[in-house]
Structure 1
Amino acid sequence: MLNRRHLRIKVLQALYAFKQSSNENYSAGEKELLHSIDKMYDLYILYLLIFEELREFADRKIEERKRKIRPTDGDINPNLNFVHNRFIAKLEENRMLHRQAEELKLNWVGDVNQDLIKKLYQQIEKSDLYEQYMALESTDFNVDKDFCIQLFKKEIANSTILLNHFEEIRIHWQDDFDHVFSMLIKTLKSIKEDANEDTPIMELYKDDEKDFVKKLFRRSIANFSDHVEFLDKYTKNWESDRLAKMDIIIMNLAITEAKEFPTIPLKVSLNEYIEISKFYSTPKSNVFINGVLDKAFADLNKEGEIRKVGRGLI
């Protein structure tokens, strides 16, 4: 499930794109924002489906070798550790996963996709991890599971073939990989051999998180001009053209969140946007934003513009 920081980043990206465009219709921007978040789930499902695709490719490869005119003993009696992996079999049996994939029309069908699976398998086949696993005389579910988790961490998640492929499909996915991988590893770890029911596939976010995204985006646009004017007194020693546009947008979001969300502690909002600025603005932005927001929050609090529900939230 997406955490609040990633949702804030998504809103930041959408707001930046909105301010860069000449479109004054925030509805279109909001639609693209929610679409961008939803597409992360596609990435999550596609990566989960990779394991069975790799197993099926390996199985076909074994059958092709058996049909050779002069098969070797290894061709006739192949190592079946991977194609008989119990953990992958458990994933293949997960009806919830395949129902979601079917509803979203996600699969690895097609020549281009199957060529990617082929190249990925060839990469995996050469890895020390794969060789060590295939050298085992016997395995059990836990051994198979640990292998798959390590395979994902070391080979699949780091495959430039897949990363480049997904970035070509959707450029915004380059900011989503780490979080999707975290979701996926949690899902893999949760799968049990003796579970009678399907292991639940993680939700992307709950309804209240979607409400958070929409409200933050809408109110940031509605109050943008007022917030820029308000921030002028804290940035008077800085010429407007020297201020990074991203800094202004980040501070606008921070002020919006402080004023519009009474249950989010002020310190959390401050720290979150300072951390985000380290990755999405200039090298010195976090120090600048910290200084400005610290003073701005103090003044807004005195003026009664910030109202928090509960103790210790200011």
Structure 2
Amino acid sequence: MINRELIRIKIVQLTYAYYQNGNRNMDNAEKELLFSLSKAYDLYNYLLALIVAITREERHRVDIATQQAQREGTEVPSAKFAYNKFATQLEENKQLNDFMETLKQRWEDDIESVRKLCNQIEQSETYREYMESGNDDYEEDRELWRKLYKQLVQNNVDLDALLEEKSLYWNDDKEIVDTFVLKTIKRFDPANKAKQELLPEYKDEEDKDFARKLFRSTILNGEQYQRYMSENSRNWDFSRLAYMDVVIMQIAIAEMLNFPNIPVSVTINEYVELAKLYSTHRSGGYINGMLDTIARGLVAHGQMMKAMPEPRPRKQFDNGRKNGEHKHAPQPAMQQEGPVVAEKDAPMEPSSDADNGALEQPIEPERNVAEA
């Protein structure tokens, strides 16, 4: 379940935190990274358990309404949604139940939030159409929950706030984890009954190794990677670049140099998107150009054996501009107060939390662009 997109996001957060903390320790920081990634898997299971919690609340409502109808001699309410076949199979899922036994969080502790979601579901057009449908098959039941999740859980501000209160690690995870919950719903097969497999924490050991290696390379070779940036920052004062831009480029260089099977273009595109998410509106264009220049230099000097696309031909500019000056050249985000990276005579060193040997919590930079 934990994919490389999520790993890159966590490494940006943890690298930023690593340099911001006063005392640094590489081993403790790596443990914090892996713990942070494990919390994303907790969230995946917790969101699946939300479907079960909603189903149980609906059954409780149906039971009360049924008892009242029997006393009054009125029509008994439909239990179609309360006993939705997909939700019932998920409720019985052995893997989910075993995992939830290990979690401290329980939806029963936030029953008002569950009830609020039940109300929203009952008021939705999707629910009305489902209840009025004469169909009674598994595919319809599964598709109902896929629609309800997309409509009422995936982009739910109140739910997002509640989850953030539960764990700071979940603040930036839900958008990606939602896609895996939807994928899981789609994969459910009634023939598998309670043994239906959920997504594993890691697809394979290679992704876990990717996280460790990328993070360690980023930190341990940080001074060298920053030197590449400084040498290619052209007319800009490298010491005044926005700190987050430096962190993002440092990780990107580590990925380019240490993972020969990942094309340079893929790496650059991934970190340009992260710059849009975590840094300024100018950062994406500047980082794109800087990383391309650094990559070409590494290839030219035999330090990186990767194919590079042919550079685009230079555009012609008005005579009124200086040679090589772009009309809308991307500008680097500039730090407002003093240098953001260590001076050459004061190299950055690792840190740790003195009390418990772990970073207190990931420092989460302010977002400037919310990606859909």
> TM-score normalised to the size of structure 1?
0.90
Secondary structure in 1 matching 2:200: coil
Which stretch has the larger CA shift, 36-45 or 171-180? 171-180
Quote the RMSD (CA, aligned, Å).
Answer: 2.2
Residue number among 301, 304, 311 corresponding to 2:302 in the alignment: 304
Matched with 1:268 is 266
Q: What is the count of residue pairs matched by the alignment? A: 308
Which stretch has the larger CA shift, 258-267 or 144-153? 258-267
2-side partners of 1:50 and 1:285: how far apart?
A: 38
1-side partners of 2:62 and 2:116: how far apart?
A: 16
Residue number among 239, 247, 250 corresponding to 2:248 in the alignment: 250
Flag the structure with more relative contact order, 1 or 2, with Cα contacts below 8 A and sequence separation at least 6: 2
Q: Deviations over 1:58-79 (max 9, x none)?
A: 11122223444994455x6111
1:28-177 matches, within 5 Å, as 28-68=28-68, 71-74=71-74, 77-105=76-104, 107-110=106-109, 113-177=110-174
Secondary structure in 1 matching 2:80: coil
Residue number among 182, 194, 199 corresponding to 1:202 in the alignment: 199
Secondary structure in 2 matching 1:175: coil
1-side partners of 2:40 and 2:89: how far apart?
A: 24
Q: Does 2:190 correspond to 1:193?
A: yes
Matched with 1:278 is 276
Residue identity (%): 34
CA offset at residue 31 of structure 1?
Answer: 1.7
In structure 1, the gaps of 5 or more residues are none
1-side partners of 2:280 and 2:156: how far apart?
A: 29
Change in CA separation of 1:143 and 1:42 when aligned onto 2, cut-off 3 Å = same
2-side partners of 1:129 and 1:139: how far apart?
A: 16
Decide whether the 8 Å contact of 1:270 with 1:290 is kept in 2: yes
Decide whether the 8 Å contact of 1:264 with 1:313 is kept in 2: no
1-side partners of 2:73 and 2:132: how far apart?
A: 17
User: If each structure's helix is expressed as a fraction of its own residues, which one has the higher value?
Assistant: 1
Q: Deviations over 1:231-273 (max 9, x none)?
A: 2121141124531111111111111111122222222222221
Decide whether the 8 Å contact of 1:86 with 1:144 is kept in 2: yes
Matched with 2:359 is none
Matched with 2:358 is none
Q: Deviations over 1:85-140 (max 9, x none)?
A: 11111112211221222234554233xx2222112112211112112222224421
Decide whether the 8 Å contact of 1:250 with 1:277 is kept in 2: yes
In structure 2, the gaps of 5 or more residues are 310-372
CA offset at residue 6 of structure 1?
Answer: 2.0
> TM-score normalised to the size of structure 2?
0.77
2-side partners of 1:290 and 1:182: how far apart?
A: 27
